[in-house]
Amino acid sequence: MTGAERRPRPLDGIRVLDIATFIAAPFCGAIMAEFGADVVKVEQPGMGDPLRGWGTESECGDSLVWLSEARNKKSITLDLRTPEGVALFRRLVEKADVVLENFRPGTLERWGIGYEALRQINPGLVMLRVSAYGQTGPYREKPGYARIAHAFSGLAYLAREPDRTPVIPGSTSLADYTSGLYGAIGVLMALRVKDRTGAGQVIDLGLYEPIFRMMDELVPSFGKSGFVREPMGADTVNIVPHSHYLTRDGRWVAIACSSDKMFERLCVAMSKPELGRDPRYATMRQRDLRRSEVNGIVSAWTGGLTAAEVLERCETAEMACGLLYNIKDIFDDPQYAARGNIQRMDQTRAGAFAAPAVVPKLSDTPGRLDHLGPELGSHNAEIYREWLGLGDEEIARLKALKVI
């Protein structure tokens, strides 16, 4: 064990049962596992989490996204639809601190393992419940995935050029990942309360809610004046120029001009300092009234230069500008390398592997990526022995009955 592997992590000693599927609640578990929690993935015998077969298949049979997003977890199999499986799960819950789930509301209650039932055997249990619309409200039983959450939250409506088809806002799983992040925040706060009081609680999260929470002034603007924001493509409401611009060599650059001072710097970069003093453009309000005209000036400038030239001139003028990266650009970039944002692993069950590194970086108790997503049921013997004290014969019997 290396020195780095011996360093303590913030969540050492926390036990988590992850009975969820795909990404949303499981991403919370991945974050916790990176920072030391003992996260046990509970999967259906013979099948496993559907994420194992989602996306590009690797050499070992599991998908690349499974290998990356089930990182540091342990896998056991257990059929929660059987009485004996439920009994085993209840025993596991006695030893756990956290349960992560994302079934439709009411499903766990029908199986006899809803929160109220589980807190009777473990009053300190913290449960994260992620569902399409949350545990309450008229839509609580409706199914939904991240794409539906993007639509319901208002994000997908805005992710397009005017009068064009709405597009995917970067990742089809954005709502899943943000729900995992908010779920992790909720679990950690609940564990903090448990430290003080000994009592657990439920974190109830609708898949659309984290995206909705991040929609800047959309809510207060409509609440104040009834303003309905319409799609603006790459532009930003109230801020000009603040968009994407094409260069002579066919690359796109992002220019963020979020203040009048920044506009003055952009004008210097464009060798047109007089525009920064021109009353038609000097204030954000005036630029917003002439949005097309201002964007046209900037587009004409970037279109006459290569991307490298635009970046150089903006940097000299201390103007915020960046190239729109594809994944090859990211792999080649020295900043990503310096920060260690891509972790390369040589000895994995999928051969050489690159994965997003752990964030955030903690100075004294950092997280780490110990291993990729595990094989189905590969930790059955370890968990059932260490947590429940089951012997080899009992584990073999349960396997033969397909309970595990």
Active site residues: 176
* Amino acid found at 2: T
The span from the CA of 258 to the CA of 240, in Å, is 7
How many helices and strands in the chain, by DSSP H and E? 19, 11
Q: Which residue has the tokens 């908010």?
A: 182
Contacts with 319 (C-beta within 8 Å, 6 or more apart), sequence order? 255, 257, 262, 265, 266, 268, 269
The span from the CA of 265 to the CA of 256, in Å, is 11
The span from the CA of 315 to the CA of 322, in Å, is 10
Alpha-carbon dihedral sign for residues 32, 34, 37, 38: positive
Pairing mode of beta strands 242-246, 252-256: antiparallel
Tokens representing 341 are 């944002």
Alpha-carbon dihedral sign for residues 285, 291, 293, 297: positive
The span from the CA of 198 to the CA of 154, in Å, is 39
The span from the CA of 41 to the CA of 72, in Å, is 10
Q: Are residues 241 and 262 in contact, defined by beta-carbon separation less than 8 angstroms? A: no
Beta strands in 201-308 (DSSP E): 202-206, 242-246, 252-256
The span from the CA of 145 to the CA of 208, in Å, is 9
Q: Are residues 372 and 30 in contact, defined by beta-carbon separation less than 8 angstroms? A: no
Q: Are residues 31 and 184 in contact, defined by beta-carbon separation less than 8 angstroms? A: yes
